[in-house]
A and B are shown apart, each in its own frame.
Chain A
Amino acid sequence: MLIQQLVNGLTLGAVYTLLALSFSLVMGILGILNLAIAELFMIGGYLGFTLITAGFPLPVAVLGGMLGAAVIAIAIEKIGYQPLRDAPLVTPMLSTLGFSIILQNVATNIWGSDPAQLPDEYFGKQYSLGPVNIGEMQLIVLVATVVLVALVAYIVQKTPMGRALRAVAENREVARILGVSADRLTMLAFILSGSLAGVAGVLIALHYGTITPYLGVEIGLKAIAVMVIGGTRQIWGALVAGPLIGIAEVLTVAYGGSQVRDFVVYGFMILILLLRPQGLLGGARSDQGQRV
């Protein structure tokens, strides 16, 4: 049972990792917490779900979820962030909270509050390795998480766009003097973050085979905890903290009960904030929100 629980924990951790990475892309560069990311994850999931059940193959569903979430991310940046970027940090965060609630209501109106369920024929194959059960989608989620984290790390670390993003995150004034367009990069951060949330939404919705408009609420909060634990400025932090929290959560449920699960996850987050505010993989400097 322990090995099965570890597999369960790794899958759950992969969900947290993808979403935490999505949060940290905006948080690390702009210093704001985009609370609508959890709903971009949900909308991406619904779009992928809709495409799959309409008969499209998985890559098209993933692309659809990614594009849909990216488009909404652009709208959030244009309407909810850009006009407020000179306001105190809490203002754009509240604006994204507003978007989050609106998106939940939009999803409820379009898809209903009943859980949407993937038809059996799309459920995917299940493989049994001795006592351990692992699904096809579960494998895809695990592999995709590693690939996506590596891809984002490559973009941020190795490409000119990534260097510009890091420059803005480090010091927007210097970056501006050096000819970096802060506006363009802000938009890029939102698009990257939204796309990632959309892809994560599709994969997770297909893995669990069910989705509701409230999918992002619980998972979004856990992903924020994972981002904090891993380090808000560390892309690899999410890859370490996600599985750590996923496994810790699953083992807590299995051996301690679901009532203490949240205590363990958020207790750990508080502990990290107190003892190592830069996160597990963060440097010596604690994060300071910076504005573009």
Chain B
Amino acid sequence: MSRIKSNLPRVLGTVAAVTLSAMVGGQAWAQEIAIGAVVPSSGPFAEWGRSNTVTLKMLEQQTNDAGGINGAKLKITILDDAAKPAQAASSLRKLAGDEKVLAVAGPLTSSAAEVTFPVANEMKVVSTSQASSKPGVAKLNRPWAFRNTIDEGVLAKTTVPFYKKAFNIKTVAVIFDAKDATASTVGKVIMPAVLKANDIIVANENDLLSFNTGDLDVSAQVTKLKALNPDGVVVSADYSQAITVLREMKRQGLIKPVVGATQLISSAILKAAPEIPVIAPATFYATMTGPAPEKFTATLTPLLRKESGLPKDIEPSMYDANIYEIVSMYIDAIKKTGVTGKPADLEADRTKIRDHLAKLEGFAGLGGPIGFNDDGDAIKAFYVLQGQNGAWDTKVKGCSSAPGHPAC
């Protein structure tokens, strides 16, 4: 016993030396942690992709300035999918196959996610969309697909009752973008069902109006909306397309409150027809209060305005917040689950990240705690906003899970 005691310092020294040698000489940790991202830096959603890119570069620098991940540098490889589903899928294949990334943030749209998530499953790499909100897109592609977004069906159940009460809505007319996967589902399925459940009559229930992405002229549809004389209008479209509808509504004198999905949340839409109230849900918006969102906005805004090449009044969007949270969750997983980042451990590392996300609860997101449900969609708080006269204002707080969940 006394011999052991006398040799203890030497034994401990040997153990420490062997461990250190394994860590440094044997490279227990990779020098670099590779994460991928698929964003639309060109094409119709370039605005979002470019601001996503600046956001990711900011996060990369913040992480590396703080010492990296377990001493390894974070490297985010960002590929442009131009919001084209096939390009998104091949980008993910390149990131997973050639770049050997541990996980992928993106793609942005539901149309791209529908095609890309099956590839993520095939390549066995986590892919988390920052904007897709069409119901069931991640659910169909378990276990590797996730979305840091809330199903539009869940959001509409809180949004519509507020809309009804705030504007005394009894009848609405619906117009949607038929070429956009989310907009089409919200306009044709989700909104009519939720409106009906709230005793709101859809004046054009059997003749829902639609237009196509990129249409400049929606005068025929708006003339028809006007003839229906509804109390309000459902505009289900990405904000860039919804602007065309709102401008035409204003031109034809159809000043009625508009309700829609998360796709409407943008500072740009508030300029289209400032006198028309726009009601839509969001999990983050630039004027959101609280230490985390205020710090995020204060840090990112000047970078966006300097580096994105976008209009001078650009502000962080919900999708910037979402992609920031996605990569932050990956970093959290890497730190907590012993991910090494070594080529030999690639498959095991990817699995560790996937399993960590699947069980995640109470991750500190910008708008509150985040977890994931069994369908791969985020459980997080959301807010019903009213946009009017150039600003968004929170009206109702909701949660994508039953009350009592840590995210609520």
Name A residues whose Cβ lies closer than 8 Å to a Cβ of B: 1, 4-5, 8-9, 11-12, 15, 105, 108-109, 112-115, 117, 120, 123, 126, 128, 133, 135, 204, 208-210, 212, 214-215, 217-219, 249-251, 253-254, 257-259, 262
Contacts and interface: CB of A to CB of B under 8 A. Distances in A.
A257 B187 CA distance: 15
17 contacts: A12-B217, A113-B43, A114-B311, A115-B244, A115-B268, A120-B274, A123-B250, A126-B251, A209-B247, A210-B244, A212-B214, A214-B214, A250-B217, A251-B220, A253-B211, A258-B210, A258-B221
A112, A114, A218 interface centre (most CB from chain B within 10 Å)? A114
B360 interface: no
B268 A114 contact: yes
B216 A113 contact: no
Contacts of B252: 133
Contacts of A9: 220
- Which interface class (under 10, 10 to 19, 20 to 34, 35 or more) fits B? 35 or more
A15 B250 CA distance: 21
A21 to B, nearest CB: 18
Given A8-B223, A123-B251, 5 more contacts: A4-B223, A209-B247, A210-B244, A214-B44, A258-B212
A218 B251 contact: no
Contacts of A117: 243, 247, 268, 271-272
Contacts of A11: 217, 219
A208 B216 contact: yes
Given A114-B310, A117-B272, A258-B211, A8 B219 contact: yes
A180 B128 CA distance: 64
Contacts of B47: 112-114
A26 to B, nearest CB: 23
Given A109-B309, A210-B244, A218-B216, A135 B221 contact: no
A259 B210 contact: yes
Contacts, number: 106
A272 B178 CA distance: 28
Contacts of B207: 257
9 closest A-B pairs (Cβ-Cβ)?
A: A113-B46, A8-B219, A253-B220, A250-B220, A114-B47, A218-B214, A254-B220, A113-B47, A258-B210
B46 A215 contact: no
A15 B311 CA distance: 28
A114 B312 CA distance: 12
A66 B248 CA distance: 26
Given A8-B220, A114-B311, A108 B251 contact: no
A254 B216 contact: no
Contact of A15 (B217, B244, B253): B217
Most chain B CB within 10 A, of A9, A133, A215, A249, is at: A133
A87 B274 CA distance: 53
Contacts of B220: 5, 8-9, 249-251, 253-254
A123 B246 CA distance: 13
Interface in B270-324: 271-272, 274, 309-311
Interface string B220-258: 110110010000000000001001100110111100000
A9 B227 CA distance: 17
A15 B217 CA distance: 10
B187 to A, nearest CB: 12
Contacts of B212: 218, 258, 262
B215 interface: yes
